[in-house]
Amino acid sequence: MGIQWYPGHMHKAQKEVREIFNQVDVFIEVLDARIPFSSQNPLIEEIRKDKPTIKILNKTDLADPQTTEQWQAYMEQESSVKTLAFNAQQSDRREQVLSLIKKMVPQKAETIKTIHALIIGIPNVGKSTLINNILGRTIAKTGNEPAVTKRQQRIKLEENIILIDTPGMLWPNIENENSGYRLAITGGIKETAFELPDIASYACEFLMQAYPEQIKQRYEFNELPHTDIELLEEIGRKRGCLRSGGMVDLEKVSRLFIMEYRDRYLGDLTLETPDMMEEELKQVELQRQAKEAKKKAREEAKKARRSRHKKNKR
């Protein structure tokens, strides 16, 4: 699929993060609890190294609570990482974030030195809503379309805590194609960046296998159809997503399915687990190695051709 979605201000934001890296005492990465792996930015992983990091699994109201716990335990295996899991309806988000910042940078929290916390997150993950909650007033612009926040700003949280906010950041090329699909399902990638039926088929395939009962219940199936396309077609017929002549309108039913997932009509369903991610990462690494080997073989063949050409000339 090769989703490419990379507005210019995101490139600028990444440059800015690199520039202010040394001032930052603690990273706060806001993640979507439905896709805690795919909503991480690998570039940030690379930049932050072992600096204290708070990973916030946000929008827990939309995610499977058991899987959220699994993710927290998995992420906290890294000694510099602590996690929080919550959603916009919770009123104690400010206290939770402030107290964890202080815990993670105790040497500065106990003095009058200013703690700089950099808050990052891919578009639409709920970063601005969280900042507004933490401040108790509206400062950051929010909206249900990716890439609303466009400029970096510094916000005083307490006398000695400054929050640095950056525009939403997404990596330029999603190496793991599956992550691209999952980002698209949850709304982390603009809708124009993908074909709806592709995304809906991916979602159907995963959800039929991971949450079969929820799908059966929502669409009133005794037995699930065998394939993702059959599932979409069945839903299309049940919901009247038809073209003239009675054919299922795949585009229409795909939109309906994705919207029903996003609006929780199917339940609180998480799209990835730590085990799944370990496996996918292995696959991505194997693909990378295979690509590398192919490139090397091509270069060697080119070299051999050149040296043959030289010999023939002589």
Ligand X SMILES: Nc1nc2c(ncn2[C@@H]2O[C@H](COP(=O)(O)OP(=O)(O)OP(=O)(O)O)[C@@H](O)[C@H]2O)c(=O)[nH]1
Chain residue whose CB lies nearest ligand X: 168
Q: What is the rounded CA–CA span in Å between residue 65 and residue 54?
A: 19
Q: Nearest distance from residue 44's CB to ligand X, in Å?
A: 14
Q: Which is nearer to ligand X, 123 or 180 (CB)?
A: 123
Q: Which is nearer to ligand X, 102 or 255 (CB)?
A: 255
- Give the count of beta carbons closer than 10 Å to the beta carbon of residue 87: 17
Q: Which is nearer to ligand X, 88 or 242 (CB)?
A: 88
Report how far apart, in Å, the C-alpha atoms of 151 and of each of 1, 8, 131, 164, 257 are: 30, 12, 14, 11, 34
Q: Please compute Rg for the chain using Cα positions.
A: 23
Binding region for ligand X (CB under 6 A): 58-59, 61-62, 87-88, 121, 123-129, 142-144, 146-149, 168
Q: Which is nearer to ligand X, 224 or 269 (CB)?
A: 269
Q: Nearest distance from residue 126's CB to ligand X, in Å?
A: 3
Q: Which is nearer to ligand X, 113 or 150 (CB)?
A: 150
Q: What is the rounded CA–CA span in Å between residue 162 and residue 300?
A: 54
Q: Nearest distance from residue 243's CB to ligand X, in Å?
A: 32
Q: Nearest distance from residue 167's CB to ligand X, in Å?
A: 6
Q: Which is nearer to ligand X, 100 or 250 (CB)?
A: 100
Q: Nearest distance from residue 222's CB to ligand X, in Å?
A: 31
Q: Nearest distance from residue 141's CB to ligand X, in Å?
A: 7
